[in-house]
Amino acid sequence: MISIQSFLKYLEFEKRSSNHTLIAYRCDLEQFLSFCQQKNIHQLSAVTKKVVRTWVVKMVEDGMSPKSVNRKITALKSFFKFLMREGFIEQSPAEGVVTPKIPKKLPVFVRNSEMDHLLDDIPFTNDYEGVRDKLILELFYGSGMRLSELVGLSDRDFDLQNGMVRVTGKYKKDRIIPMYKQLVHLVDHYIKVRNKEFGVNKDASFFLTGKGEKIYHKLVYRVVNKYLALVTTLHKKSPHVLRHSFATSLLNAGADLNAIKELLGHANLNATQVYTHNSFEKITDIYNQAHPRS
């Protein structure tokens, strides 16, 4: 039987999938194969549509979220499509399997006034970690980049003379994001403070821990959560909330939706259009307050 590893190599080298996707797909497929073994199915050619549906029903009954179930089905469909391509099966038993409906959620965002208060009024320490933490917040809010994109930054990604930063997004696609003058100044100041603290190493990660090691996702998440808690009562206080805040701020200020799509690195406009709901709510409030007949 063909191994999951062969499929993951195909995703990594031909589809250029992210490491996060590879880890998730491995886990999803191993769970499915374990389920098959419990049903005494030991060959992929013996898997039927009924088996896949039974797996889906079990996940739903176990209380798994529709989003997680859909991701696992997507992984399975991709795996069986790969098996068809390699000639191991003729038809995919996962094709046509109905996925649970995911309820739409509006993006959670921090108001402009709250972000201004955090970045302009809240004091940050002048040591390395204080300078780093403020820049992390400014970069998220000023560029809309993802957590993985920020963690993956290096000095070479910054063009301070032209006020731009290059980020590597999903499927290893690069995009250029402009930076406002204050953000450029903060980046320049951070580099000087970091180099004074740890020495010059342009091949190292751009952001470092307090010990001079490559920064990691959980540390960045803690930084964002800590500072957002000072200005907002939102239940969710994550880097992605700052990404939503970036997009919502631009849209409310009249930015073109296609331009926001490019800045965020979305593959299609549907992913960006979710922000129009928040914008429409604001417009509705203004209308209700301002129109003489409302």
Annotation marks residue 53 as catalytic: no
Distances in Å between the alpha carbon of 180 and those of 117, 141, 143, 292? Answer: 18, 11, 9, 39
Annotation marks residue 266 as catalytic: yes
Annotation marks residue 189 as catalytic: no
Alpha helices in the chain (DSSP H): 4-13, 19-38, 49-61, 66-85, 112-120, 128-143, 147-151, 181-198, 217-228, 239-252, 257-264, 269-273, 275-290
Catalytic residue among 146, 194, 237, 261: 146
d(CA 62, CA 85): 33
Catalytic residue among 240, 277, 287, 293: 240
Q: How many CB atoms lie within 10 A of CB 121?
A: 9
Question: What's the gap between Cα 73 and its chain centre?
Answer: 20
Annotation marks residue 275 as catalytic: yes
Catalytic residue among 49, 170, 175, 221: 170
If residue 159 lies in a helix (H) or strand (E), which one and from where to where?
strand 158-159
Annotation marks residue 243 as catalytic: yes
Positive or negative: CA dihedral 12, 27, 69, 86: positive
Distances in Å between the alpha carbon of 242 and those of 106, 123, 140? Answer: 14, 19, 6
Catalytic residue among 134, 243, 244, 261: 243
d(CA 37, CA 80): 17
Catalytic residue among 72, 77, 261, 266: 266
d(CA 130, CA 80): 49
Query: Which sequence positions are flagged as catalytic?
Result: 146, 170, 240, 243, 266, 275
